[in-house]
Amino acid sequence: MTPYDAISGQGPTGLTDGFGRTVSYLRVSVTDRCDLRCVYCMAEHMTFLPKAEVLTLEELDRIASAFVALGVKKLRITGGEPLVRKGVMGLIRELGRHLRSGALEELTLTTNGTRLAQFAGELAEAGVRRVNVSLDTLKPELFRRLTRGGDVAKVVAGIEAAQAAGLKVKINAVALKDDNAAELPELIRWAHGRGCDMTLIETMPLGEVETDRTDQYLSLETVRAELESFWTLSDLPLSTGGPARYVAVAETGGRLGFITPLSHNFCEACNRVRLTCTGTLHTCLGQEDASDLRAVIRAGGSDDDLVDAIRLAVDGKPKGHDFRIERSAGPAVARHMSTTGG
């Protein structure tokens, strides 16, 4: 029990930004490290953060719990690869107390799946009901190249273990013009055939990587038009407050989401903020805005100080972002997705 468990009475006022949007969803990156090096996400030789800069598991719990006390209903644990962080299961189990108290509605995870086979059972026991697994291709060679060394069989085994443990699995794939565009229908059929929803993601200009991302950028409008040439897609009203739009695919019987962060059409309903593993709060994925919550707690700040810092940051949440994929423009936002948390 942290002091925040006692102040959860503040919940009803909730966290509202300067534009009247309620913030009910926090993504928490627990590490910047990863056992893969996806070409669109990381440079081959990444310099990772010194340990002292990364929040301890207790600090992560303290900050996440403050958000829950302020009315956040959904926590997503991400990274980097969350399952490579030592002790992460302890943190997830601890955060599970907010599910049991009813303060939190959902505790989820985004993972590359390489360690899911090992952790699926424990995740289910901790109260996790759904996980997102990133998988851009089923072809072993291509997977190895895209992830710079990964083994797709481990990910598939992880997905199977998660389902066997009773977790609902959603597959996320980044649409890459040259590498997996032609395989996407097969990947969707594969996911839907296993009872998994699937979402496609456009590449985002976050952080320097070696490849020129504009070369691999594939508009999901193009993908959707292609899929509609042989499948029947019908729009679903489902709104997550995020950049995903969902359709039902009649032929596969599954749901397909399109995440198009480069379009502005979701900012008005945006309900989410992101905490990096160094305790920086970003209230918009596409802006450089940042608030240092680690500084507040490491300076000995009280629970009230932390709550004030969170409220101040959320109040300043930008109205929208300004991503553009343009040649020679460089990354729109300097931080990598692995730092912010996807």
Residue (63 or 174) nearer to ligand SAM, CB: 174
Q: Could you say which of ligand SF4, ligand SAM, none residue 201 binds, taking C-beta under 5 to 8 angstroms by partner kind?
A: ligand SAM
Segment near ligand SAM (CB under 6 A); pick from 74-82, 116-124, 176-184, 298-306: 74-82
Segment near ligand SAM (CB under 6 A); pick from 53-61, 76-84, 153-161, 183-191: 76-84
Residue (112 or 203) nearer to ligand SF4, CB: 112
Q: Which helix (H) or strand (E) holds 256?
A: strand 254-259
What are the DSSP calls for 21-60, one per residue? -B--EEEEE--S--S---TTT--SSPPPPPGGGSPPHHHH
Q: Could you say which of ligand SAM, ligand SF4, none residue 111 binds, taking C-beta under 5 to 8 angstroms by partner kind?
A: ligand SAM
280 sits near ligand SAM (criterion: CB under 6 A): no
24 sits near ligand SF4 (criterion: CB under 6 A): no
Compute and round to an integer the Cα radius of gyration of the chain.
Answer: 19
Pairing of strands 244-249, 291-292: unpaired
Residue (188 or 306) nearer to ligand SAM, CB: 188
Residue (7 or 267) nearer to ligand SAM, CB: 267
Give the angle subtended at the CA of 45 by the CAs of 43 and 48, to the nearest 5°. Answer: 95
Segment near ligand SAM (CB under 6 A); pick from 89-97, 119-127, 196-204, 322-330: 196-204
Segment near ligand SF4 (CB under 6 A); pick from 48-56, 75-83, 237-245, 321-329: 75-83
Integer Cα distance of 244 and 259 in angstroms: 4
Minimum Å gap between C-beta 39 and ligand SF4 is: 9
Please report where in the chains the tokens 């949007």 appear, as a residue. Answer: 21
Q: Which of 23, 36, 99, 152 binds ligand SF4 (CB under 6 A)?
A: 36
Query: Are 136 and 156 in contact, with CB atoms under 8 Å apart?
Result: no
Minimum Å gap between C-beta 175 and ligand SAM is: 9
DSSP state of 316: T
Minimum Å gap between C-beta 195 and ligand SAM is: 19
Query: Are 88 and 308 in contact, with CB atoms under 8 Å apart?
Result: no
Phi-psi sector, 2: left (phi>0), alpha (psi -120 to 50), beta? beta
Segment near ligand SF4 (CB under 6 A); pick from 52-60, 79-87, 151-159, 192-200: 79-87
Amino acid sitting at position 20? G
**CA separation, residue 45 to residues 129, 209, 306, 331 (Å):** 34, 10, 35, 18
Q: Could you say which of ligand SF4, ligand SAM, none residue 37 binds, taking C-beta under 5 to 8 angstroms by partner kind?
A: ligand SF4
Question: What is the end-to-end Cα distance of the chain in Å, rounded?
Answer: 28
Which alpha helices (H) appear in 173-301, and where do they start and end?
184-193, 213-216, 220-228, 293-298
Q: Which of 17, 81, 179, 197 binds ligand SF4 (CB under 6 A)?
A: 81
Restricted to residues 82-121, the positions that interact with ligand SF4 (CB under 6 A) are 112
Minimum Å gap between C-beta 252 and ligand SF4 is: 25
40 sits near ligand SAM (criterion: CB under 6 A): yes
41 sits near ligand SAM (criterion: CB under 6 A): yes
260 sits near ligand SAM (criterion: CB under 6 A): no
- Counting other chains too, the contacts that 230-235 makes at CB distance below 8 Å and 24 or more residues apart are 230/185, 231/185
Number of shown-chain residues binding ligand SF4 (CB under 6 A): 12
Q: Which of 15, 26, 34, 273 binds ligand SF4 (CB under 6 A)?
A: 34
Bridge partners of 170?
132, 197
Q: What is the contact surface with ligand SF4 in residues (CB under 6 A)? A: 34, 36-38, 41-42, 79-81, 112, 134, 338
